Chain A
Amino acid sequence: MRGGGAGERAREAREAVAECRAAYEALNRFTASYRQLVLGVGSSADGRRLRRALEESGRRGFELSLGLRNQLLAEFTEPGTRQEEVKMELERIWVLCLSALEIFLQDLGRAHDLSQLFPMPSPAPGIQLVNTGVTSFGPKGWSLRRPSGKASERAGELPEELAQWGQRLEEMLLEMETKVNVPVWSVEATVGGPGAEEPSPEGSARRSPPGCCAQAPPGLQWHCIVA
């Protein structure tokens, strides 16, 4: 039995949702950088370092996704009534999580296929890397970001190989889709139609930590067209 009145419970619920959202955003960021890595496989930017970075990132991604999933599942299966808002927010994060996982899984599979097409470390004579004009594989000063404590502690154990991860993730995705009864298509987008690459003011006010706006680099030009 939680202590305190309804207000306290609501606040806790909102905090939990905020945590979920932060975890999701980490996953989002990670997916984008993972794709950058996979883009380089087989190209002139390829090399031992890239492959190593791929592996470690893959592991990190796996941790992140497991952690997020466990968090979300905990929220969903927790008994007790919730406010409409919190519920909707949770469903939204769930759908976002599913989409991000789909993309991560897709990239994992492609990385695996491409790694086999262009095997490392020493390419057999005849198999060269494709000259694409890209010479480095990561952003300036690329450093493998250390996994945050929370994500890894929620993750649990990890299987070892890349191929196994792919399989585990697929199973996880399927499980997620079928276990929790959230119809994917019922989630409404908080952003407007095409032309509004920025969430409308009402939307951003509802989200617990201010979303992407806070993280955007200041040099970015905003052309705000609210749908």
Chain B
Amino acid sequence: MTIRHQGQQYRPRMAFLRKIEALVKEMQNPETGIRMQSQRVMITNIPHAMTGNDILQWIAQRLWIGHMEAQNLGNFVVKYGYVYPLQDPKNLNLKPDNSSLYRFQTPYFWPTQQWSAEDTDYAIYLAKRNIKKKGILEEYEKENYSFLNKKINHKWDFIIMQAKEQYKTGKERKKADRYALDCQEKAYWLVHRCPPGADNILDYGLNRVTNPNEVKKDTISLIRKEIMYYQQALMRSTVKSSVSLGGIVKYSEQFSSNDPIMSGCLPSNPWITDDTQFWELNAKLVDIPTKMRVERWAFNFSELIRDPKGRQSFQFFLKKEFSGENLGFWEACEDLKYGDQSKVKEKAQEIYKLFLAPGARRWINIDGKTMDITVKGLKHPHRYVLDAAQTHIYMLMKKDSYARYLKSPIYKEMLAKAIEPRETSKRSSLPFMRRHLRSSPSPVILRQLEEEAKAREAANTVDITQVMSKLDRRSQLKKEIPPK
């Protein structure tokens, strides 16, 4: 069932404990309920104990269910903390024999769904036990205790004072009652802060922000939204399923050899053999890429441009062809789209200055219409303002430069140099051998290196405009030197 907790979140997976509560309440009936006995603890008699067998019989009889189902239900009752075992408090199961005794939990400690077991209360409980007898806390309880000490340190004075008071007040009760109360509290915390290894029965999954089981009423605004949504869906361009399926088949065939699951990977799958060579060889900007990787660049343009090493090689090629600004512009657009959005305005301005303005240092060649749209959009810059220009440039690179790149000596050389790692046999790892694990370089450092490399690139770029302007100047100078 779904309940609303603290007005903010929904818990759609909580157990429906009200049903167990109803059953437990019925068990109390002096005539039709469970037979009560009294428990003997040293010299005192504490009433209201029941044997496991009695509980089981009662459940089976009351609900007309079989023995196994009754056992299951009885286990639930114990696990959720409505009934707690007396002899073996940690074992939250219903033992169907005549010697194990159980008792009901007081309603204050019932796991009613709206009350969470607070850390403060838990700390007070542990402190109380510590006061009663030093060192009685178990290992996991001691750990929890010191953890809580750090977590709610500002309340610690209060916790200790309150624990002492509660301990004092507890001592003032009758001995039998005190014993029962202690057992109750201990049982409560065994359910709500279960020891390691035990199932946390109260685990209910995530707190959700919206109620997934809510049935929304059809209001006019809701229907309007639906209509808008479907109209937009109609406007989307569609593809025949035969075409798209054919595309998937082709893609799968082409990439099947590259897929580590379908065709294994060289040198070896790190998840199986614990050998990280695969990751090292395929690092983002490794010096010599693997053969599979370089071959992949020839499949289609998006593979090339997605791979950082491929981009680097492509950029090298483009510079030779004096169209390096295209890829630079593309990368700048990607950064605008996916980068820090708080700097959108500045980034857009810089891109304009560098690539789009007339006479810019790295002016890109896009048609007039696209340029118009882009410049207009730059007045109110946002993430996708350069989309049109970026698509244009992308298509340009794909249709024009890509084909030439694949035929170029740069690519051929890269293909020849590419290594094909040998397959390492599955190393028989002795279970006790300490493998020396090195951590990969920190992503922070990697990013810094990338940015430095980019900055160096930007500084060293020789642009066509610069070159042209230099040539122009030289020819102008030549002209200006008056013939003698």
Q: A134 touching B181 by the CB < 8 A rule?
A: yes
CB neighbors of A among B144-171 (8 A):
145-146, 149, 153-166, 168-171
Give min CB distance, A165 to chain B, whole Å: 19
A194 and B103 form a contact (CB under 8 A): no
- Given contacts A36-B170, A139-B169, A197-B130, whether A118 and B107 have CB atoms under 8 Å apart is yes
Chain A hits for B171, CB < 8 A: 217
> Is A128's CB under 8 angstroms from B30's CB?
yes
A133 to B162, CA, bound (A): 25
B174 at interface by CB-CB < 8 Å: yes
User: Is B184 part of the binding interface, using a Cβ–Cβ cutoff of 8 Å?
Assistant: yes
Is B47 in the interface zone, CB < 8 Å from A?
A: yes
Stretch at the interface among B60-68, B112-120, B216-224, B268-276: B112-120
Contact A42 to B164, CB < 8 A, known contacts A99-B155, A131-B48, A194-B149: no
Most buried by B among A132, A187, A217: A132
**A193-227 vs B: 1/0 string, CB under 8 Å?**
11101010000000000011001110010010100
Indicate if B177 sits at the interface (CB-CB under 8 A).
yes
Q: How far is the CB of A206 from chain B (nearest CB, A)?
A: 12
Chain A residue with minimal CB distance to B146?
Answer: A194
**A184-B164 contact given A129-B28, A139-B173, CB 8 Å threshold:** no
Tell whether B236 is near chain A: CB-to-CB under 8 Å.
no
A59 interfacial by beta-carbon distance below 8 Å: no
Report the separation of the CA atoms of residues A59 and B171 in the bound assembly, to the nearest whole angstrom.
Answer: 25
Is A135 a contact partner of B47 (Cβ separation < 8 A)?
yes
* Complex contact A136–B120 (CB within 8 A): no
Residue B172 CB within 8 A of the other chain: yes
Give min CB distance, A72 to chain B, whole Å: 15
Residues of B within 8 A of A128 (CB): 25, 28-30, 33
**Known contacts A36-B170, A132-B103, A217-B171: does B120 contact A197 (CB below 8 Å)?**
no
Using a CB-CB cutoff of 8 Å, which residues 180-195 of chain A contact chain B? Answer: 184-191, 193-195
A57 at the B interface (CB under 8 A)? no
B213 to chain A, nearest CB (A): 24
CB B77 to nearest CB in A, in angstroms, measures 13
Q: Which residue on A lies nearest to B22, using beta carbons?
A: A126
Task: Evaluate contact between B165 and A134: CB separation under 8 angstroms.
Answer: no
The CA of A185 and the CA of B49, in the complex, are separated in Å by 45
DSSP class of B's interface residues: helix, strand, loop or mixed? helix
Choose among B33, B104, B162, B174 the residue that contacts A132 (Cβ–Cβ < 8 A): B104
B342 shortest CB reach to chain A, Å: 29
As a 0/1 sequence over residues 111 to 133 of chain A, the CB contacts with chain B under 8 angstroms (1 = contact) are 00110011000000011111111
Interface size class of B (residues with CB under 8 A): 35 or more
Identify which of A25-33, A144-152, A167-175 touches chain B: A25-33
Contacts of B168 in A (CB 8 A): 32, 215-217
**When chains A and B are docked, how far (Å) is the Cα of A127 from the Cα of B27?**
10
Closest Cβ–Cβ distance, residue A26 to chain B (whole Å): 11
Taking CB atoms and an 8 Å cut-off, the chain B residues in 1-58 that contact chain A are: 24-26, 28-30, 33, 36, 39, 46-49
> Does chain B have a CB within 8 A of A44?
yes
How many Å from the CB of A210 to the closest CB on chain B?
13
* Interface membership of A140, Cβ < 8 A: yes
Q: Which residue of B105, B156, B180 has the most chain A CB atoms within 10 A of its CB atom?
A: B156
Query: Closest Cβ of chain A: how far from B162's Cβ, in Å?
Result: 6
Q: How far apart are B414's CB and chain A's nearest CB, in angstroms?
A: 58
In the assembled complex, the Cα of A41 lies from the Cα of B105 at a distance in Å of 12
Q: How far is the CB of B4 from chain A (nearest CB, A)?
A: 16
Residues of A within 8 A of B184 (CB): 39, 132, 134
Residue of A nearest to B180 (CB): A133
Query: Taking CB as reference atom, which chain A residue is nearest B156?
Result: A189
| A49 CA / B155 CA spacing, docked (Å) | 34
Asked if B33 contacts A212 (CB within 8 A), the reply is no
From known contacts A92-B157, A99-B155, A140-B174, infer whether A38 and B145 are also in contact, taking CB-CB under 8 Å: no
How far, in whole Å, are A102 and B181 apart by their CA atoms in the complex?
23
Contacts of A194 in B (CB 8 A): 130, 142, 145-146, 149
A95: which of B24, B108, B158, B166 is its contact (CB, 8 Å)?
B158
CB 8 Å contact bits of B299-319 with A (1 = contact, 0 = none): 000000000000000000000
Q: Does A110 contact B (CB under 8 A)?
A: yes
Contact assessment for A140 and B172 in the assembled complex, using a CB-CB cutoff below 8 Å: yes
Q: Does the CB pair A43–B107 fall under 8 Å?
A: yes
What residues of A have a CB within 8 angstroms of the CB of B26 in the complex? 126
Contact B47 A131 (CB under 8 A): yes
A41 with B162: CB separation less than 8 A: no
CB distance from B472 to the nearest CB of A (A): 67
Q: Are B155 and A95 in contact (CB under 8 A)?
A: yes
A226 to chain B, nearest CB (A): 13
Distance in angstroms from B345 CB to nearest chain A CB is: 36
Q: Which of A39, A95, A189, A193 contacts B181 (CB 8 A)?
A: A39
Residues of A within 8 A of B366 (CB): none
B164 and A216: CB pair below 8 A?
yes
Is the CB of A47 closer than 8 A to any CB of chain B?
no
List A34-52 residues whose CB lies under 8 Å from chain B. Answer: 35-36, 38-45
Shortest beta-carbon distance from B86 to chain A in Å: 10
Asked if A96 lies at the interface with its beta carbon under 8 angstroms from chain B, I say yes
Contacts A31-B165, A132-B180 given; does A189 touch B154 at CB 8 Å: yes
User: Given the known A-B contacts A106-B118, A197-B130, A216-B168, are A127 and B25 also in contact in the complex, defined by CB atoms under 8 Å?
Assistant: yes
* Chain A positions within 8 Å of B180 at CB level: 132-134
Known A95-B155, A130-B24: A103·B120 in contact at CB below 8 Å: yes
How far does the alpha carbon of A92 sit from the alpha carbon of B109 in the complex, in Å? Answer: 31
User: Are A29 and B36 interface neighbours, CB within 8 A?
Assistant: no
- Report the Cα distance A194→B144, complex, angstroms: 10
Q: B180 → chain A, closest Cβ, in Å?
A: 4
In the complex, are the beta carbons of B149 and A40 less than 8 A apart?
Answer: no
The answer to the question of B283 belonging to the interface, with a C-beta cut-off of 8 Å to chain A, is no
Q: Find chain A residues with CB under 8 A from B131 CB.
A: 197, 220
Top 7 closest A-B pairs, CB basis? A139-B172, A42-B107, A189-B156, A32-B165, A128-B28, A131-B48, A99-B158
A-B contact pairs, 8 of them (CB 8 A): A28-B162, A32-B169, A39-B181, A99-B159, A128-B30, A189-B156, A191-B156, A197-B163
Apart from the given pairs A39-B181, A128-B30, 10 other A-B contacts in the complex at a CB distance below 8 Å: A43-B107, A99-B158, A128-B25, A139-B172, A139-B173, A185-B154, A188-B153, A191-B160, A212-B161, A225-B134
